[in-house]
Structure 1
Amino acid sequence: MMQFISAPGLVSDLTFILLALCLFMVLFTIGRCILLFWNRGCAADVPRSAIIAGFRNGLRFDLQIASVLMLPLWFGLLLPNGLSFRGIWLGYLLVTLLIASLLLLVEAEFYREFQARLNSIVIQYLSEDTKTVISMVLAGGPVLAFTVATLVIGLQEYIAVNEINMITMHNYSHATDSLMVNYAWRIPLAFAALCLLVLGARGTLRQGAPLRWGDAFTTDYLFANHLGINGIMTLFKAWQGWGKNDAAKDWMRFSDRDKALDITRQLVLQPADQLLAPNNSPLLRKTTPQGPKLDGVDNIVFILMESFTSRFVGAQGAPGNITPYFDKLAEDGCLCRHMFSVGTHTHQGMFGTFSSFPNLPDTEYLMQQPAGSGMFSGLPAIMTGMGYDNSVFVYNGDFAWDNQQGFFGAQGMNRFIGRDDYVNPVFQDKTWGVCDEDMFNRSVEELDLLHDQGKPFYGLLQTLSNHLPYALPEQLPVDDVTEFGGLNKHLTAMRYSDWALGKFFEQAKTKPWYNNTLFVVLADHGFGVPGQVSSINLQSFHVPALFIAPGIQNKVGKVFDKTCSQLDMANTAVSLLGKPFVQAGWGRNVFDLADDDPGYAMMKPSGSDKTVAMVRGNEIVVKGADITPECYRIDLGFPPGDELLSKDATGDPRYQQLGSFLQTAILCLNERKTGHDMEA
């Protein structure tokens, strides 16, 4: 049992604090070991020297958090009796250690899913629907393993805390401490202890800013750099910055406003675009398609596939036979092989694709933020402007999540089919909703209804089964994936989603609306896989996009190898109809690029990560927080790779394009100039 000291002296109190700090340092190191073990696939190509550097850097970040956690104990030093009521302080240590332990364990699985330390995704998920998040974790997370681990670690922490208490009691010497019980001694020594804690909390001896995110990036390996960061610190920073726009404000000062706008227009506008309100709306324009046009096609159907990464798509060259149905569809369509998502989370993939607006720092959850309450110039707005009033959005889950119905309803969608609208589904997951098979079956019915109205239509279909907890029907129509270790469950869900997609097209091909419909099949984002490409881990953004329509290959070819982005998809799809339209979107018709234009894509990881990047052809410029922009040559083949071209790309024209693009987009968002309802 824990014992108490009736009147401890200052030496005992200081020893108690020092040993408690060391205990937290040990815990954080154990947590880093667990993170490494749980995500060992990410470290497969990382040399041991980089891993060691990550652990070495981690000591500084751990000291930051441990020092901050010691501050309540330091305040106890100022009390006349110091830390004599030891039960209070022992209780504080135990509770704090248990919370930290739980966060470190959860983070191991969080990193596997999001390839990031704890960040604002945690806050966003919990603020959105805590019940759903808990259900997702219980259904798909390693709950039993983490529960047992928490109990074991908690017991060890109890023993360690009790031992610290006993050591400080054992080392207590009345003859020594009697000289320091006097309060006159306590104040100056407490001040000296505070100085040491402040120094530890800064994490560095340099003048100016304390230890920052960029200080962990000392190797060429993203996973090793991530190892060096403390997840509790990143979560606290995310909470501290929640709702603020500090990163956005930095980009708003990137360049002269007019110069940035001019560079942005050079990037986005195409030769036949006619600006309609250049003094009022930066990108409001009339687009008259000049590229290929599809004959007899009036309808557009977008299919957004959850986590459908190019790294396991056979048509992209991937092994494993994970996507045989998509691969077969690609034989009759046009596959964009150098396509990228705007983010690494469904929320960003949705508004990037359907609203043609970039993923900006501090606005990763745009559909839920006040800035997202205005009009955007994506597919719904463009189609409404062209006279289409016949549409449907079909989804497995709850449209209240991420404010999807509120957002897209305001953009022009007029019918939504969500989890509560299915009758006798094949399978319904208690966390999210029905399976992809049910979603696609209902989609065929809904597209039949749109066709029966005798008017052109458009539809948005979104899958969900390939998302944690990967809840699938008990009897799967596909074989389980068994050869990819920790990714097997994820890839089995991806294979099932691919099967459901194939069955949808089997049904669609028998329908009268099939031959006059353009289908665009693409992913919302990828997911973490072994192998690093540049310091942004580009594989998480590499996704396929497939255009399917009668005669599509005769018009645009079987494959398209220029760089493109989710931002380009609405513009490209509508342009294939061959009719003029008004828009203010941030994408281009990629099938009408000049021969010497390699295409480009902008991206940003989800959560609190302030990294941004621009891919142009086979090179990428990456700007991380507190880090000088870097330039790489990239190879997304099998295996993937990269070559660092420049450690300082500040003067690179592509970095100027990236900064100008972000600056102009942020200003447009703040000034509500994102829609195409502006007047000249």
Structure 2
Amino acid sequence: MNYFKKYSPFINLLFLFIIVNVILRIILLFHPITQSSFGPLEITKIFVLGFISDVFLFIIVSAFLWLYLLFLSNVKYEKYGYLIFGALVLLLLYVSFFNTILNEYGGSLPEIGISFIALKTIFFGLLLFLPKHRKAIRLVLFFITMFIFTLVIIQNAISEFFFWNEFGVRYNFIAVDYLVYTNTVIGNIMESYPVVPLFASVGLVTALLTYFIVKRAQPFLNHLPSFKEKVKGLGVYVVLVILSLTAIPLLAKQENSPNVYTNELQANGMFKFYTAFMNNELEFDKFYKTMPKAEAFALLQKQIQGINRESSLRTIKADSTELHKNVVLITVESLSEDFMTEYGNKKHITPFLDSLADKSLQFTNLYAVGNRTVRGLEAVTLCLPPSAAESVVKRTDNKNKFSTGSVFKQKGYAVKYMYGGDAFFDNMGDFFGGNGYDVIDKKTFQPNEITFANIWGVCDEDMYHKAIKEMNNEAKANKPFFNHIMTVSNHRPFTYPEGKIDISGMAKSRDGGVKYTDYALKQFFTMAQKQPWFKNTVFVILADHCASSSGKTELPLDKYRIPAMIYAPGFIQPEHVNTLMSQIDIMPTLFGLLHFNYNSKFYGQDIFKPTYQPRAFVATYQDLGMIKNNVLTIISPVKKVKQFQLISKAKPNVKEEFQSQYDEIPMLHLREDLVKETIAYYQTSAFLLKNKQLQK
């Protein structure tokens, strides 16, 4: 059968797909971010099982190629040509002048649909009415088609490389998000990388590869399969697809090495993207190990004092008069702890934060709950353990929750969320607006308020100037305010106004992004100190997550440790607090310092209460972890449980309270008490969210 001979386009593209993926695996294997060594068995799994997986995956994704090849024919022009051409003309007229399903979807889809049908009609007409030139026209169209398929293969490999370069993994939920927020992501790529030479090189390589594929396919084009051969070929292909659909999930289950990098390199990025797309929400009871609900809540009651029954509700009572001070919460984009001098950084890229930390209540053993901005926002707003799969921020049921904002509103505060970008991104506007916050984002800026912007939004200085204006207006209303500010400048492409720091924004470096973020924060405090409301304001500064989350294990703890501090001169005394805690505890702790009385549904706790039992939560989209008693417990889908003993790895010349690196040693015998506590936290929070018991 022509479809499976060496000159077949299907076979040639299959070879290209396999070769490109082998090269990609080799490159990723030796990439600096791949911080691991591999034994012979692991190398075998990566390349042998990876090869088999690639073959089966190509069979499935080549469905469009098969559709194209099956319709290559001369008979359709000779017997049914005028009928088909007339139908195409009528279809083109219909989509051009009448309301169709394409118009219902809106956006650019109608133009794309019309253009596609128009081109199809034109090319079919050329092939129909110019039979003497049909062979040459078909060759040109075949080249274009093969170019597109080849480009997809090459471009996907390059995209996987850049994704690995950023996150140290194959495609995951972040890649799915990037497909949704195309404008921002494409803009980020345009500003971060030398796009023109990169795309030009890709185009040239693709054209050369396409030339060789088309040249090898000449026998196929000269002797197109007959109808009988097409039926046979299609039958064989259908069998291969069924086999592939069965084999791919089985191969995915073999991604079971304790070395995360082995699993990621063995996997195929396209299939990882598909699974991420399909599993953006995970039913906890279905995918994770559970216990009887009554037992889970009984365990929760031992961890959080004051709750009873199937609830997290409890009454928080202070022993002093409430202090209704203004509160400014600043979550700093991608601020890893190791950017700061105290944690061992020698580059001095956070001079202001270093000085501010010395004057603040500094939490030196605090962990981010996740590796995305929405996870950090969820943690400081809802004070809950991270939910399985997608963040609450991005779910449809994300409104009217019991939140830090709702507590402040009960106390008579004005409540705002301020973000220098478009709050549509990551569903932030919908989440904060739906939970009672007034949203200030880039859309609210006047042209004269923007001095510099990139794809992520206005620079931090512009955001802080806007924030000062808003706070001055709020102060005139004679009521306290709570403003949550999310920064944007410490994010790729790391561009910012020139002349502010000694690293040019043209360098597009992480160090420059960090240093400018620090500089802008200094400018904010310089402005704030001149305002009449400053002395009555408490500032909370912490990272949303670390700059990188990749590591040798599912949850590398040094990639989750973040700086956090509360600054209020004359009110909060400077101190280092080395109590193990989580992002979800920062705001309940602040409420304790302000002596707030309120009914709480938070899982986060005031760490200064004698009833607080130190623990921290860390998670990816699927792996949910808890740190307690120097043990990291991880629960994962398919009801898996792992535990790691945490052995401190001392950094030289770093004080004990700032040591953040651990060897995570797999435990052969699980500590069942910690396993049950971990399950109890996550199972009960998932239950309460699902049953709408965490509403305000």
TM-score range, shorter chain: 0.7 to 0.9
Which of 199, 216, 221 is the aligned partner of 2:255? Answer: 216
Whether contact under 8 Å (2:143, 2:210) holds in the other structure is no
* Partner Cα separation in structure 2 for residue 317 and residue 544 of structure 1: 13
Q: Please state how far the C-alpha of 1:46 moved relative to its aligned partner.
A: 3.4
Residue of structure 1 in register with 2:317 after alignment: 288
Which of 666, 682, 690 is the aligned partner of 1:645? Answer: 666
**CA distance 1:165–1:456, shift in 2 (3 Å):** same
Whether contact under 8 Å (1:67, 1:197) holds in the other structure is yes
**CA distance 1:200–1:416, shift in 2 (3 Å):** closer
Which of 140, 147, 151 is the aligned partner of 2:192? Answer: 140
Whether contact under 8 Å (2:420, 2:457) holds in the other structure is yes
Whether contact under 8 Å (2:284, 2:388) holds in the other structure is yes
* Partner Cα separation in structure 2 for residue 60 and residue 83 of structure 1: 37
Q: Please state how far the C-alpha of 1:432 moved relative to its aligned partner.
A: 2.8
* Partner Cα separation in structure 2 for residue 627 and residue 217 of structure 1: 14
* Partner Cα separation in structure 1 for residue 635 and residue 201 of structure 2: 38
1:258 aligns with 2:294: yes
Residue of structure 1 in register with 2:365 after alignment: 338
Whether contact under 8 Å (1:35, 1:107) holds in the other structure is no
- CA root-mean-square deviation: 3.8
Residue of structure 1 in register with 2:514 after alignment: 494
Whether contact under 8 Å (1:533, 1:642) holds in the other structure is no
- Please give the residue correspondences for 1:156-167 in structure 2 after superposition, counting only pairs within 5 Å: 156-166=208-218
Which of 589, 603, 615 is the aligned partner of 2:606? Answer: 589
Q: Which amino acid aligns with 1:286?
A: T
Which of 32, 50, 62 is the aligned partner of 1:41? Answer: 32
Residue of structure 1 in register with 2:163 after alignment: 110
Residue of structure 2 in register with 1:413 after alignment: 437
1:24 aligns with 2:17: yes
Which of 423, 428, 453 is the aligned partner of 2:452? Answer: 428
Q: Which amino acid aligns with 1:112?
A: N
Whether contact under 8 Å (1:628, 1:648) holds in the other structure is no
Q: Please state how far the C-alpha of 1:460 moved relative to its aligned partner.
A: 1.1
Which of 541, 554, 563 is the aligned partner of 1:535? Answer: 554
* Partner Cα separation in structure 2 for residue 566 and residue 361 of structure 1: 17
The DSSP-based 3-state class of the residue aligned with 2:496 is coil
Which of 153, 160, 163 is the aligned partner of 2:205? Answer: 153
Which of 457, 473, 482 is the aligned partner of 2:481? Answer: 457
Q: Which amino acid aligns with 1:27?
A: V
Residue of structure 1 in register with 2:617 after alignment: 602
Q: Please state how far the C-alpha of 1:317 moved relative to its aligned partner.
A: 3.0
1:394 aligns with 2:418: yes
Residue of structure 1 in register with 2:268 after alignment: 230
Q: Please state how far the C-alpha of 1:539 moved relative to its aligned partner.
A: 3.4
**CA distance 1:189–1:562, shift in 2 (3 Å):** same
**CA distance 1:620–1:190, shift in 2 (3 Å):** same
Q: Please state how far the C-alpha of 1:413 moved relative to its aligned partner.
A: 2.4
Residue of structure 1 in register with 2:626 after alignment: 614
**CA distance 1:80–1:398, shift in 2 (3 Å):** closer
Residue of structure 2 in register with 1:565 after alignment: 582
**CA distance 1:574–1:80, shift in 2 (3 Å):** closer
**CA distance 1:53–1:327, shift in 2 (3 Å):** farther
Aligned length, in residue pairs: 625
Residue of structure 1 in register with 2:643 after alignment: 631
Whether contact under 8 Å (1:307, 1:526) holds in the other structure is yes
The DSSP-based 3-state class of the residue aligned with 1:211 is helix
**CA distance 1:453–1:636, shift in 2 (3 Å):** farther
Residue of structure 2 in register with 1:442 after alignment: 466
Q: Which amino acid aligns with 1:23?
A: L
- Please give the residue correspondences for 1:49-448 in structure 2 after superposition, counting only pairs within 5 Å: 53-71=45-63, 93-128=146-181, 130-166=182-218, 195-196=239-240, 198-203=242-247, 210-212=250-252, 214-220=253-259, 222-241=260-279, 245-251=281-287, 254-267=290-303, 269-270=304-305, 273=306, 275=307, 278=308, 282-289=311-318, 298-364=325-391, 366-373=392-399, 375-385=400-410, 387-414=411-438, 416=440, 418-422=442-446, 424-425=448-449, 427-448=451-472
Gaps of 5+ in 2: 77-134, 652-659
Q: Which TM-score applies when normalising by structure 2? A: 0.79
Gaps of 5+ in 1: 1-7
Of the structure 1 ranges 559-568 and 68-77, higher mean CA displacement relative to structure 2 is found in 68-77
* Partner Cα separation in structure 2 for residue 35 and residue 579 of structure 1: 51
Q: Which amino acid aligns with 2:615?
A: Y
Q: Please state how far the C-alpha of 1:512 moved relative to its aligned partner.
A: 3.6
Q: Please state how far the C-alpha of 1:612 moved relative to its aligned partner.
A: 1.9
Q: Which TM-score applies when normalising by structure 1? A: 0.81
Deviation readout 1:466-510 (Å, 9 max, x if unpaired): 12222200223243599xxxx971221011101111222233334
* Partner Cα separation in structure 1 for residue 503 and residue 508 of structure 2: 11
The DSSP-based 3-state class of the residue aligned with 2:327 is strand
Deviation readout 1:526-552 (Å, 9 max, x if unpaired): 12278x363223333221111112356
The DSSP-based 3-state class of the residue aligned with 1:439 is helix
* Partner Cα separation in structure 2 for residue 225 and residue 407 of structure 1: 34
Deviation readout 1:185-228 (Å, 9 max, x if unpaired): 98788756655554455447xxxx5222x5334252x3343222
Whether contact under 8 Å (1:629, 1:648) holds in the other structure is no
Q: Which amino acid aligns with 1:131?
A: N
Whether contact under 8 Å (1:252, 1:666) holds in the other structure is no
Of the structure 1 ranges 137-146 and 293-302, higher mean CA displacement relative to structure 2 is found in 293-302
Whether contact under 8 Å (1:351, 1:367) holds in the other structure is yes
1:505 aligns with 2:529: no
**CA distance 1:436–1:562, shift in 2 (3 Å):** same
Residue of structure 2 in register with 1:5 after alignment: none
**CA distance 1:347–1:45, shift in 2 (3 Å):** same
1:675 aligns with 2:695: yes
Whether contact under 8 Å (1:526, 1:539) holds in the other structure is no
Residue of structure 2 in register with 1:665 after alignment: 685
* Partner Cα separation in structure 2 for residue 251 and residue 636 of structure 1: 34
The DSSP-based 3-state class of the residue aligned with 2:608 is helix
Q: Please state how far the C-alpha of 1:99 moved relative to its aligned partner.
A: 1.4
**CA distance 1:73–1:138, shift in 2 (3 Å):** closer
Whether contact under 8 Å (1:310, 1:316) holds in the other structure is yes
Residue of structure 1 in register with 2:5 after alignment: 12
**CA distance 1:501–1:632, shift in 2 (3 Å):** same
Deviation readout 1:436-477 (Å, 9 max, x if unpaired): 112223323333333333333222122111122222002232
The DSSP-based 3-state class of the residue aligned with 1:502 is helix
**CA distance 1:20–1:411, shift in 2 (3 Å):** closer
Q: Please state how far the C-alpha of 1:297 moved relative to its aligned partner.
A: 6.7
Whether contact under 8 Å (1:34, 1:105) holds in the other structure is no
Q: Please state how far the C-alpha of 1:83 moved relative to its aligned partner.
A: 13
